[in-house]
């Protein structure tokens, strides 16, 4: 998790203990070695180890307090700056998880390309990213002329980069990954939009999606 202290307003305590179930469900079943990027306090990795006995989970976390807690749950935790020190990471992994982290980076394209260098052949990256096309964001920008940052959500004040699903796929492809699965996390409100989406056969699904979880497989070298 990107250190909130560097952006002013401290994040609530639960911010560091979230487990993304959709991300867990897209982890490749045969993977045994995992790297959790922005692992916060290590809850995701702890859940992986609980569900997959024998799995090895390493984490990357810059926040010192969160990294200390994660070290009690994971096999190893690296306290490194993703945008400066990845070259020193020598381990290889079957799967790299980037839960709610790429949007916090100045250059997620370069970081993701560097991360894929640490994948074993046929390895996967699974990432969750907020969807800029959420109806509330589109409404406020198109009709009210507002792009107002908040404490959480798509316009979280610590987000530096913004993506639609199309751009998320391009991000993966630019890192040498073939997108093999996409899962939306749907906003249940407002009810009228949910009902209209159902009537239209899911054509408004993108506007109801607060976050997408993508799984990408490393393309073999030419």
3-state SS, 121-184, equals EEEEEEEEEEECCCHHHHHHHHHCCCCCCECCCCCECCCCCCECHHHHHHHHHHCCEEEEEEEE
Q: Specify the pLDDT at position 11.
A: 57
The number of beta carbons lying within 10 Å of the beta carbon of residue 217 is 18
Calpha distance 27→114 (Å, rounded): 20
| Structural domains in the chain (count) | 1
Q: Which domain holds residue 123?
A: 4-218
Q: What phi, psi does 69 have (nearest 5°)?
A: -70, -40
Q: Looking at residue 121, which CATH number applies to its domain?
A: 3.40.50.150
Average pLDDT, consecutive stretches of 10 residues, N- to C-terminus, the chain (222 residues): 43 66 95 96 96 96 94 95 81 96 96 96 97 89 89 89 97 97 83 66 75 95 68
């Amino acid at each position: 998790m990107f250190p909130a202290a560097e952006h002013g307003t401290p994040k609530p305590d639960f911010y560091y203990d979230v487990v993304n179930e959709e991300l867990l469900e897209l982890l490749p079943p045969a993977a045994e070695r995992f790297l959790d990027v922005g692992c916060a306090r290590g809850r995701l990795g702890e859940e992986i180890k609980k569900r997959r006995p024998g799995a090895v989970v390493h984490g990357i976390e810059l926040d010192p307090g969160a990294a200390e807690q994660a070290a009690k749950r994971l096999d190893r935790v690296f306290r490194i700056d993703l945008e400066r020190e990845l070259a020193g990471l020598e381990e290889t992994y079957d799967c790299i998880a980037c839960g709610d982290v790429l949007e916090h980076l100045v250059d997620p394209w370069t970081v993701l390309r560097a991360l894929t260098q640490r994948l074993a052949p046929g390895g996967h990256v699974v990432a969750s990213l907020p969807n800029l096309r959420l109806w509330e964001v589109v409404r406020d920008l198109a009709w009210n002329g507002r792009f107002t940052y908040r404490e959480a959500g798509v316009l979280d004040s610590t987000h530096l980069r913004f993506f639609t699903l199309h751009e998320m796929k391009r991000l993966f492809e630019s890192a040498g990954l073939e997108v093999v699965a996409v899962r939306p996390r749907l906003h249940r409100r407002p009810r009228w939009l949910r009902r209209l989406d159902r009537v239209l056969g899911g054509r408004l699904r993108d506007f109801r999606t607060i976050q997408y979880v993508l799984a990408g497989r490393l393309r073999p070298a030419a």
